[in-house]
Amino acid sequence: MRLRPLGSRDMDIKDKDNKEYLSGFIAIIGPPNVGKSTLLNRLMGKKVAIVSPKPQTTRNRILGIYHGEGFQIAFLDTPGIHKTRTPLHNSMVSSARDALSQVDILILLIDMSRPDDPEISSILKAIKRERKPVILVINKIDKSPKEDLLPIIDSYSRRHSFDVIIPVSALKGDGINIILEELKNRIKPGPRFFPEDMTSDQSETFLVSEVIREKIYLHTGKDIPYSSAVTVERMEVNPENGILSISAIIHVESESQKSMMIGRGGKKIRDIGKASRLELEKILDKGIFLELFVRVEKNWSRDPRALQKLGY
């Protein structure tokens, strides 16, 4: 997805009350597992990105479009920036780094309990090259001693000239309104890039595959989540009862992973399917019939052609 920079103004930038309309693109960046997707969901007031306790859950850039009175903010949730080991990781990190040049403002998100994350130095170097406004958001303040906060703020203030530093708990919602207010004060006059009823650029097919992948992360351990991908083969609504019938394939890299994904007597795949169905019924507000199949796609995370085929 190529974002349109705000430097180009070929649309009316007045709202219906003849006031200047404000708009901007914001990238949420940071190391893996600091809560970027949780922050995006909290800012949006709804779930647009999958979350799990495991690092590197986000593989694609996710766009969330926030509509306020007289302004529009397009948030970009990015994969965690980290040292790469496979072509899949290269794709993820490249996606995150590309976002730096395509947005107007950066939110650097860090975990208060891990202020010295080794990935921070390289991220700060990339930020300095962009010369854009940067807001530092210190997340998970509900899980660390309050007396640790000021030293972290002091340390980061010396590492970079942040526009503002905001402590938050994305999980509990503390500090979220402050972020929105600070962003509104920094975005510039511009057009409505997206219709008012649009909150994400995700297709239903992508949403379905992401929800299933989220449940894989939550129901499996070890390397299984990182060795799995999901593609949706079929989505059809039954005209008689309105039930949405979905057929999806979970791709893994070996026969042993396939066995673990299915589980003894098929229990694991049933649990993943049930959790996915319940989540999708809530999101899509309709009855769901979900079929899941597991297929071996050997070493797909290391094969550029397989990555492209699977959407990476």
Give the predicted TM-score (pTM) of the model.
0.80
Structure tokens at 230: 């999901």
Burial class (CB in 10 A: 0-12, 13-18, 19+), 103: buried
At 45, which amino acid appears? Answer: G
Structure tokens at 46: 């709804």
- Tell the CATH topology of 22-189: Rossmann fold (3.40.50)
Q: What is the pLDDT of residue 236?
A: 96
Q: What is the pLDDT of residue 309?
A: 77
C-beta separation of 294 from 261 below 8 A: yes
Print pLDDT tens along the chain (312 aa): 334 333 333 344 455 554 789 999 999 998 888 999 999 999 999 988 878 766 566 656 788 999 999 999 999 887 655 454 555 445 544 555 566 778 899 999 999 999 998 889 888 988 888 889 999 999 999 999 999 999 999 999 999 999 999 999 999 999 999 999 999 999 999 999 999 999 998 889 989 999 999 999 999 987 788 889 999 999 999 999 999 999 999 999 999 999 999 999 999 999 999 999 999 999 999 999 999 999 999 988 887 787 777 776
The 3-class SS string of 35-69 reads CHHHHHHHHHCCCCCCCCCCCCCCCCCEEEEEEEC
Q: Which letter does DSSP use for residue 7 in this model? A: T
Q: What are the φ/ψ torsions at residue 67 (nearest 5 degrees)?
A: -110, 120
52: closest CA among 235, 262, 199, 272?
Answer: 272
Q: What is the pLDDT of residue 15?
A: 52
At 221, which amino acid appears? Answer: G
Q: What is the CATH number of domain 204-309?
A: 3.30.300.20
Q: What is the pLDDT of residue 304?
A: 78
Would you list the domain boundaries of the chain?
22-189, 204-309
**Residue whose token pair is 């403002």:** 105
Strands 105-111, 22-29: pairing is parallel
* Whole-angstrom distance, CA of residue 235 vs CA of residue 107: 36
Structure tokens at 54: 């495991």
At 66, which amino acid appears? Answer: Y
Angle at 51 between CA 201 and CA 226, to 5 degrees: 100
